[in-house]
Each structure stands twice: as C-alpha cells, then as structure tokens.
Amino acid sequence: MQIGLIRVRTLEAVGAVDRHGPLIEGAFPGLRVDCYCIKDQPSGIHDDESEALATPKVIELGRKLESKVDAIIVSCSADPGVEELNKELHIPAIGAGRSAAGIARSLGEAIGVITITDDVPATVKVGLGDHFLAWRKVKGVETALDLESDASYANTIDAARELVAQGSDAILLACTGFSTIAIASKIAKASGIPVVDPVLAAGSIAYTLMLNGKG
Amino acid sequence: MQIGLIRVRTLEAVGAVDRHGPLIEGAFPGLRVDCYCIKDQPSGIHDDESEALATPKVIELGRKLESKVDAIIVSCSADPGVEELNKELHIPAIGAGRSAAGIARSLGEAIGVITITDDVPATVKVGLGDHFLAWRKVKGVETALDLESDASYANTIDAARELVAQGSDAILLACTGFSTIAIASKIAKASGIPVVDPVLAAGSIAYTLMLNGKG
C-alpha cells in the first residue's frame, strides 16, 4: 500500500523530509511511504496562526497526491486539512492527532498529553474525551525544531514523569516532532507506562486499511 | 512480545481455540500469541446473562496468565473483565471492543456497527461516542457459532450494505466471531469503505506496546 505522508514543516536538507517514512515502513510491513512537505513554513505548526497558514497548503498537496497514492497521512497532531481532504478526496486521509487519540483511548483511562504548544490540539482533546487527564508543555520549547536538543530530550522525560506522578496511566505525544527524535520508547522505559507515538499511530491506522485489502 | 489471548467461547476441537492467534501473528511481526478459552460456555457471550457468567472466568484466567505473558488480549467485543484485570494486574489487558472503537474513530465520522447481539456492546458504543451512526444485527444469528454458515456470511454482507446506504463511512465488526470467519476484507471490498476487525484491532494495540519496547 502506497502512502503519501505530508510534513507540515518545510525542510531542505537531504533526507530530512523523508524522516517519518522509515519509521512507518520499519514497523508496518507492506506500507510504502513517500514524504512531502509544505512550502515556506520552516518552523512548522506551533500555534493557531501557523496552523491556519498551513491548512490550505496541506489540502493543495493532498489534492496533488490523490492520483499517486492509496492513502494520505498528515504528519501533524493538529490534523490540519484532514477533515477537508476526507470530504473531498476518494482516498482516505489519516491525521496523526486523531490516530494517536484513538489508540491511546484503548491503552489507558487517564491519558497524559505532552505538547510543544500552549494548549492541547483540539483533535487530541476531543479524540481522548473523558480519557484525558492532564497535559504538559515541554520546558523551553516553542516549535518542533527546539525538540532536537539534549536539554529538550531531558525536559520531555521530565514532563512524562510529572504526568505519571499526577496519575496518568498512558502518555500521548502530541507533536510529530517527538516521533522525529524517536523518544517514545525512552519515555515508556523511564515512566513504566504505555506511550503513543503520533507517526506510528497514523501508520497503525493505515495498516488497518491495508490489512483489509485497501491498496 | 508474548500475548495471552483469552477466548470467551469454550472450544474443544484441535486448533479451534488457537484460531485468533495466527490472525494476529500473521499481521504483526514480533507478536507471539498463545490462546486459551474459558470453561463451560460453548455458546460464548451473546447476551447480558452469558456475559455476567463469563466475566469472573476471564478474570481468573487472566490472573493465571500474568506471570507467563507480556500482555493479555480478551478476544470479545464486550471486553469482559478487561477493566478489572487492568486494575489488578501488572501487565496490560487489551479488550477487542475498546480497541476496535478506538481505531474506527480514526477512520470515520459515522461508524456503522454490525453485531450478533440485540444491542451494541457498551464498550463499542461508549468508545465510538459521537462517531457512532447506526447498527445492524446479522439476520438469523443468535451466537457466534451461527456466523459459520454461508447464509450468515451473506447476511453479514447485506447488513454492511444497509449501513452504507444509511450513510456509514466505516464499519466496525462488534463480535470476534467475525474475525474467526475472516469476513472484514470481504465486507471492505463489497462496501467500499474501511472495516475494523476486532481481533486485528486488539493486535494493533498490542503492537503499539511492542513498538515501545514492552516485551
């Protein structure tokens, strides 16, 4: 099954755009992932304004991909454009935020959410419903770029520990930048509870489609 | 990762108990599944009474499995004993109903549910929340055993078509007997919309745990 994965952060370096592809391909046999990114947003989505700017770009890119792929993954926990693409296109569009929420609901009653933004993405909050317990923004981080430092790595682990202390029985990482730095399994080890990685969650939903013979 | 899978239907024939194991092992590399079944319930769970009878048996079996496996799957869409096992045991217990609902939420806005019972299992109804649209009981079926006939197979496809006509954009199979007869991909082909198989959904949730380095 061929997936088109849309990054909401503009990346120029060779290999950087493609980074979420191997995460999914390595975990889900039979899924092939080509990655694309929207233009002119090097800081990605990190607040309402940057989300509003990105959404039409995601939709435009999704339209271009429709004839080339079996499904689209929008690799952002805010799911920009996902609802619109599902209404318009003849192939499914999968949002990382909604996917992570759906899977987390099955793993815990009281989910702790880690973000890079000043609130929990609506997709995640609504998706978790009464399974939502609490959230933490990673200290010192304003965009996904800031996650790629040793300090942020340590601060993310700290945020998870605080959420566990508050009673979380599972953790949802509400930014696909956490997938880029592959921190989910480290947090699971440090915290002792299940952790949901948003890119792998979207892969898992795509895999469900594939197991049913879609593409 | 070693899974202990609990069937809620008592099966005697060689190979019959194990039937859900290969479904999961074939789809999710690295998951190993041993299957067990509760005693004295050859008709499985098909109403409130049979569910009440099965629940303490599932809990007892789950306790016995705790030291042998990394996670437990309760292979029934009503998730009998899952909440209790998660409170009591040190390993996760995964319910097929809740798993299917979590995954279906990510695939559609208006989910159609197919059952063998006179109502939708509470786990599925609550899990779907406002993503639930409508449901159909398969004609002529009272227990999971009845699914294993050509007539039931055709009636299940008919139920799916009716749910599509009613506006469903994805279908959830709310009995693991549908997994036993491997009908999900047939329904997906006949209906043209995504279908969620409850045993594979539970496997998908277990796989999320494994990708995080649990077991």
Average pLDDT, chain A: 94
Q: For residue A214, name the pLDDT band (cuts at 50, 70, 90).
A: low
d(CA A95, CA A98): 6
Q: Is B124 on the interface with A (CB under 8 A)?
A: no
Q: A94 and B101 in contact by Cβ < 8 A? A: no
- Tell me the helix, strand and coil percentages in chain A, rounded to 5: 50, 15, 35
* Chain B positions in Cβ-Cβ contact with residue A209 (cut-off 8 Å): 107, 194
Compute the C-alpha angle B125/B131/B133, nearest 5°: 75
Is A208 close to B204, i.e. CB distance below 8 A? yes
> In B, which residues are within 8 Å of A204 by CB distance?
103, 204, 207-208
Closest chain A residue to B101, measured at CA: A102
Q: Rounded distance, CA B148 to CA B138, Å?
A: 12
Please judge whether A105 and B95 are an interchain contact, meaning their C-beta atoms are less than 8 angstroms apart: no
Q: How many CB atoms lie within 10 A of CB B145?
A: 17
**Nearest-neighbour CA in chain B from A89: distance (Å):** 13
Distance CA A64, CA B69 (A): 46
Cβ-Cβ pairs closer than 8 A, A with B, add up to 102
Burial of A146 by CB count in 10 Å (0-12 exposed, 13-18 middle, 19+ buried)? middle
Best of A172, A207, A208, A214 to disrupt the B interface (most B CBs within 10 Å) is: A208
B108 dihedral zone (left: phi>0; alpha: psi -120 to 50; beta) = beta
Alpha helices by DSSP H, listed for chain A, are 20-27, 48-65, 82-88, 96-107, 122-128, 150-165, 177-180, 184-191, 198-211
- With beta carbons less than 8 A apart as the criterion, state whether A173 and A114 touch: yes
Q: Search chain A and give the residue with CA nearest B184.
A: A212
Dihedral angle over CA of B2, B8, B10, B13, nearest 10: -50
Question: A197 — contact with chain B (CB < 8 Å)?
Answer: yes
Chain B contact present for A58, CB below 8 A: no
The pLDDT value recorded for residue A212 is 83
Put simply, the answer to whether A98 touches B92 (Cβ < 8 Å) is: no
* Contact between B102 and A102 using a beta-carbon 8 Å cutoff: yes
Closest Cα in chain B, distance from residue A170 (Å)? 11
pLDDT digits 0-9 by tens, A107-121: 999 999 999 999 999
Residue A73: the pLDDT is 98
* Tens digit of pLDDT at every position of chain B (215 positions): 999 999 999 988 878 888 899 999 999 999 999 999 999 998 888 889 999 999 999 999 999 999 999 999 999 999 999 999 999 999 999 999 999 999 999 999 999 999 999 999 999 999 999 999 999 999 999 888 888 888 999 999 999 999 999 999 999 999 999 999 999 999 999 998 999 999 999 999 999 999 987 64
- Cβ separation B208–A214 shorter than 8 A: no
Q: What is the pLDDT of residues A36-90, one digit of tens each?
A: 999 999 888 888 999 999 999 999 999 999 999 999 999 999 999 999 999 999 9
Flag whether residue B205 sits within 8 Å of chain A, measured between CB atoms: yes
Tell me the nearest-neighbour CA distance from A93 into chain B, angstroms.
9
Interface touch B127/A105, C-beta < 8 Å: yes
Residue B167 CB neighbours (<10 A):
11
Option in B185, B188, B212 nearest A194 (CB) = B212
- Give contacts of B 4-43 with A, CB under 8 A: 27, 29
Contacting residues of B for A185, CB less than 8 Å apart: 211-213
Residue of A nearest to B97 (CA): A106
pLDDT at A215 > cutoff 70: no
